[in-house]
Amino acid sequence: MSHHGVSLEAIHQARRRIAGQVVRTPLVRSAALSARFEAEILLKLETCQPTGAFKLRGATNMIAALIERHGSEALAAGVVTASTGNHGRAVAYAAAQQGVPAVICLSRLVPPDKVAAIEALGAEARRVGASQDEAFEEVERLVSERGMTLIPPFDDPLVAAGQGTIGLELMEDCPDLDRVIVGLSGGGLLGGIGVAVKAIRPECRVTGVSLSRGAAMWESLQAGYPVAVEEVESLGDSLGGGIGRDNRCTLALVREVMDDHVQVSERAIARAMVAILEHEKRLVEGAAAVGLAAIEEHGLAVRGRKVALILSGNAVSLEILDRARVLAGR
């Protein structure tokens, strides 16, 4: 196992743990996008998860692994996390499945519809501070004072291994895949997928896509250590947030498995959201549309190739959709 703690074997173990609790999502060909880019454009529909996003894989794997190792009484005080929304929903759902109480700490930037979705799953949602880092301070307090167990959004080998199960599914459904394009924020998704894909098909390119502003992983990779950035409002709000001052897993993981990395503008994200709605009849978050945004904005070399885009996150309010349409000029 590598120094970041994520291996192909760990990902296979994760798949065994989450079976029956998490959906094995479809990989579907987009006729419209394939014709437009003269390529095989495949969409990995993580929007089909019960919580609408890939985060359910990592949260379910970690909670199940902790119970497997230490017994359910180890989580009697409950689990806690900080989240921009989708990870919070995932922890709330996975905890409810196991009968474990959950508290989700969120910054004031998180849209109200995402807060409501967390509460509907039976978890307590706490609004704290103006950033993900400030929300995380409340998490640390609950861990130390109430003995709750942290389920990190990304920076943990069990969480990254859970997300990596997507990579196994991609390789089974398209063994000759040429490239996978993945939204990149904390790095658990790209890192996990990258480990699986590179172990099975080393020649498959792994491309990361970050926001053009407030991209902590982008800055941290340039610097070589975790860098804090100011969070900004974005259509791709799920890709906001820092990578943690003492990141111990995902920075190394991303550096090891990622082949190339681009940033996308708000306008490109808006255009991609609208295109996916128009051509695929799928309403997705900005963070789910960044793969298409990257191909369009950067003219990525996809012609004649088999390319998978990860579509994850469907918590889109009508207000956000209207904003995307205006920005896209529609």
What are the residue numbers of the active site?
55, 312
* Order of all β-strands in the sheet with 79-82: 124-127, 102-106, 79-82, 149-150
> Environment class of residue 325 by beta-carbon count within 10 Å: exposed (0-12), middle (13-18) or buried (19+)?
middle
Cβ pair 290, 314 in contact under 8 A: no
Are residues 154 and 186 in contact, defined by beta-carbon separation less than 8 angstroms? yes
Q: Which of 44, 13, 17 is nearest to 195 (CA)?
A: 13
- CA atoms of 80 and 41, how far apart (whole Å): 37
Structure tokens that stand for 30 in this block: 């987009």
On whether the CB atoms of residues 190 and 184 are closer than 8 A, the answer is yes
Q: Do 159 and 8 meet the contact criterion of CB atoms below 8 Å apart? A: no
Query: Can you tell me which residue has the tokens 């998860």?
Result: 49
Helices 250-257 & 188-200, crossing angle to 10 degrees?
40
User: Residue 186 to residues 35, 43, 221, 297: CA-CA distances in angstroms?
Assistant: 33, 22, 12, 22
What SS3 state is found at 194?
Answer: helix
